[in-house]
């Protein structure tokens, strides 16, 4: 299985996310993550989808089927062009007094941040590519993880040309 990151520009209208996510599920495509947010244009939402496919042909099917949706303005496969991908994770970890110093050093090594501390736990925030996020989750599994929230990957192409002009 190969992973690809698609940037999908859609009309910022009610129901768009349903149309996109419904299509992906009914066509039985595998998605690793999906995230959406506002863009530099108020009328446009950007949906970032990481799909996992068996072949280029299956990827073409995903792109062609998404392209049929009326609200979809543009689809670019950012895995095919030079691009930067990032994901944000927040991890709540049990932090006893004894474990706290260890946790702080893990956080330092990953250049993560502790964004909340209570007497029982800390919340660690980290931004990075997927492997880095996976790695910190792996390391922290030695401690007691209470919960994890991940955004899924978002990406921008390098250089001056935005996705909408590609």
| Residues contributing to the site for another protein (CB under 8 A) | 10-11, 14-15, 18-19, 22, 26, 57, 60-61, 64-65, 67-74
Residue with Cβ nearer another protein (60 or 142): 60
Instruction: Considering only CA atoms, give the Rg of the chain.
Output: 18
Residue with Cβ nearer another protein (56 or 108): 56
Q: How far is the CB of 166 from another protein (least distance, A)?
A: 15
Q: How far is the CB of 4 from another protein (least distance, A)?
A: 17
Query: 70, 63 in Cβ contact below 8 A?
Result: no
Residue with Cβ nearer another protein (64 or 141): 64
Q: How far is the CB of 36 from another protein (least distance, A)?
A: 15
């Amino acid at each position: 299985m190969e992973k690809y990151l698609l940037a999908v520009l859609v009309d910022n209208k009610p129901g768009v996310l349903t149309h996109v996510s419904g299509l992906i599920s009914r066509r039985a495509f595998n998605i690793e993550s999906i995230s959406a947010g506002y863009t530099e244009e108020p009328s446009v939402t950007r949906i970032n989808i990481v799909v996992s496919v068996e072949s280029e042909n299956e990827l073409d099917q995903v792109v062609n089927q998404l392209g049929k949706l009326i609200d979809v303005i543009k689809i670019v496969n950012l895995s095919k062009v030079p691009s930067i991908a990032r994901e944000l994770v927040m991890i709540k970890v049990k932090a006893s007094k004894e474990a706290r110093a260890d946790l702080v050093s893990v956080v330092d090594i990953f250049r993560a941040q502790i964004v909340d501390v209570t007497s029982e736990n800390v919340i660690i925030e980290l931004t990075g590519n997927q492997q880095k996020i996976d790695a910190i989750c792996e390391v922290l599994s030695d401690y007691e993880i209470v919960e994890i929230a991940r955004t899924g990957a978002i990406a921008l192409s390098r250089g001056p040309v935005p996705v909408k002009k590609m």
